Amino acid sequence: MKVLAAMSGGVDSAVAAARAVDAGHDVVGVHLALSRMPGTLRTGSRGCCTIEDSMDAQRAANIIGIPYYVWDFSERFKLDVVDDFIAEYSAGRTPNPCMRCNERIKFAALLEKAVALGFDAVATGHYASLITDEHGNRELHRAAAWAKDQSYVLGVLNSEQLAHSMFPLGATPSKAEVRAEAAARGFSVANKPDSHDICFIPDGDTRGWLADKVGAEQGAILDRTGDQIGTHEGAHAFTVGQRKGLNVGFPTSDGKPRFVLEVRPKTNEVVVGPKEALDIAEIAGRKFSWAGLDPVASEITEADVAGMRSFDCEVQIRAHADPVPATARLSPVNPADYPDGAGAISASRSQETNADYELVITPNQPLNGVAPGQTAVVYVGTRVLGQCTIDRTVSAVAVS
């Protein structure tokens, strides 16, 4: 096959490209320039897409012996990832930029261009596995080593994208083995630190970055009954579950700390309460997609007049969170749950919001600290069945 290897400049993508060559594929390496003003050097494990990363990718491509190019996707990245991130926080939601980047950049813009140029697949260094069933349908599964499993951030991929994807590291038992292989191949990135945090905020100061982008205006901090107990310098700086940075004027009656329960951007208010109020009994979202065949076509459940019958699954709400046993179903949207119509849905998202149905997920035990805007990925065994962007949550604790 003719394969385009996405090379970030890290060890995983370099080894993935080399393995694609070893498998007999005709491979071309490409590095995505995602910033209009890339830094010359990384700051430890912070940041990515720097000039240094591009050079590291080129050195690996030279050793492998494959052609190498740099493609400028900076404008697309700004519109679909950075601007989306700002819009979501401004709407009181907590976005996951890595999900957006995979959805809109690596497996939409890049894959579309690759297919248009005659490539059969795009190979990346993600730790995830692809399985083809007896009918030729692709399924996305967890990697062999769950400690490094990255299937969560790939949950946004659809059937067509999976058909043109390749993950050469999926069966690798450990990251240590990948680093050892990189060293044996002579790659200079063998011991390069993994990047983390938000790549376009390399100093890690998300609050300061957002204040610079959207401004800061003083607002009220409320308790669950609506009484004002403090002030803040901008609702965008807070996210559900946050404890630090709350300017609360007096202690609670029980002396326990408060946590952010809700962010209200329209009124610039932040609602706080006890830790137990973070427990969530149900989550739901209208922007959902299936990674391959849907649950009905996969014979996991059956369709009914209400949408889709409930089925057993596991739900994961963060990249490094443990999966939680749950049930899921498709249900008709209740307009009362969406008083603003479409809700705070960013227009830049690639997958349309379903106006009639929502994916409703009920964990067997309450989830803790879930915020609208996060992504819930649904698993059946090791298989990634699909995902939704969380629009609403239902608290397990009544207001008192």
Give the residue numbers marked as catalytic.
Answer: 101, 199
If DSSP states are collapsed to H, E and C, what string results for the chain?
Answer: CEEEEECCCCHHHHHHHHHHHHCCCEEEEEEEECCCCCCCCCECCECCCCHHHHHHHHHHHHHHCCCEEEEECHHHHHHHHHHHHHHHHHCCCCCCHHHHHHHHHHHHHHHHHHHHCCCCEEECCCCEEEEECCCCCEEEEECCCCCCCCHHHHCCCCHHHHHCEECCCCCCCCHHHHHHHHHHHCCCCCCCCCCECCCCCCCCCHHHHHHHHHCCCCEEEECCCCCEEEEECCHHHCCCCCCCCCCECCCCCCCCCCEEEEEECCCCEEEEECHHHHEEEEEEECEEEECCCCCCCCCCCCEECCEEEEEEEEEECCCCCCCEEEEEEEEECCHHHCCCCCCCCCCCCCCCCCCCEEEEEEECCCEECCCCCCEEEEEECCEEEEEEECCEEEECCCCC
Least confident interval from 5-9, 139-143, 344-348, 383-387: 344-348
Most distant pair of Cα atoms in the chain: their distance: 68
pLDDT, one tens digit per residue, over 14-58 is 999 999 999 999 999 999 988 765 554 444 444 456 788 899 999
pLDDT, one tens digit per residue, over 271-327 is 998 888 899 999 999 999 999 999 999 999 999 877 899 999 999 999 889 999 999
Distance CA 211, CA 207 (A): 6
Structural domains of the chain, ranges and CATH numbers in brackets: 2-185 (3.40.50.620), 216-273 (2.30.30), 278-395 (2.40.30.10)
pLDDT, one tens digit per residue, over 92-127 is 788 888 888 888 898 889 999 999 999 999 999 999
Is the separation of the CB atoms in 251 and 244 below 8 Å?
A: no
Q: How confident is the model at residue 336, as a pLDDT?
A: 84
How many residues are present in the chain? Answer: 400
> Percent of the chain beyond pLDDT 70?
90
**pTM for this prediction:** 0.88
